Every structure is written in structure tokens, then in C-alpha cells.
Amino acid sequence: GCRGLLLTRFPDQIPRALPDGVRHAAFVPFRWLVPRSAALVHHGGIGTLSQGLAGGVPQILMPMGFDQFDNAARIERLGVGLALARKSFRGPALAGLLGKLLADQSVADRCRAVADRFAGADGIAAAADEVEAAGR
């Protein structure tokens, strides 16, 4: 009963016929999208993951390489998401995990708590302060 938005600039990754309530877009700004999302399903890249954390949104990750496996483990340790192996990444398994995440109030509470830690943070200023301090 949920709507879905599939984001990719590679339309060949998307089935030609999508179910009712599911759309494809090549791009939508995450700053606009995440606050309107019930959950994120993605590859586990740090950019997408951090946008989801800052937005307080539960996440399902399908890591494929590099830091994505570590990111998936961290999401699970934080209790704000789950990982799904590529070989298991199929509609029924994904739907089951989404249902589990969205029905769990403790996941929602942890997502809000993590998002609160991002509120008011100025990462650029903090990084600049660290660089200046290291140069002293």
C-alpha cells in the first residue's frame, strides 16, 4: 500500500512496466525527497546514508562494494535500518523488511534520535576548525 520512487539516471535498470504507485525519476534532490519519505532503499553509499540519517528515515541497504558493507553494518548497529544481500534482493524479501522497519516504533524512535544529533550541525565549519587547529 505504499508509493515508491525509483531514482536512477540509468533507465535500463528499471522495468518498463511499473506497478501502480511506483514511478521513476532520473533525479530528485534528496533535501526535498527525504523529509517526505517513509523509508530509503539504496546501495549503502555514504552520501545517501547520511541524508537518510539526517532526515530520520529508516533505511534498507543492499551493499555492493567499497565502504557500503561497513555502512550497512553501522546502520544495523544503530538500529535504524537493515541490510539485504544482493542475492536476496527480491520483491518479497524487500517488502517484508520494509514492513518490519515501518511497523517498529523503536526503529522510528532511534531514527529520530539520530536525526536530532544532526540538527544544527555545521559540518563544513567543524571541518574548517579542525584543519585550522591541525595547522597550529
Note the pLDDT tens digit of each residue in 2-28.
889 989 999 898 888 988 999 999 999
pTM of the shown model: 0.82
**Residue range 35-60: mean pLDDT, rounded:** 93
- Where does 4-134 sit in CATH, by number? 3.40.50.2000
Domain residue spans in the chain? 4-134
Give the pLDDT of residue 2: 80
40 contact partners, CB below 8 Å, separation of at least 6: 34, 48, 51, 52, 57, 58, 59, 60
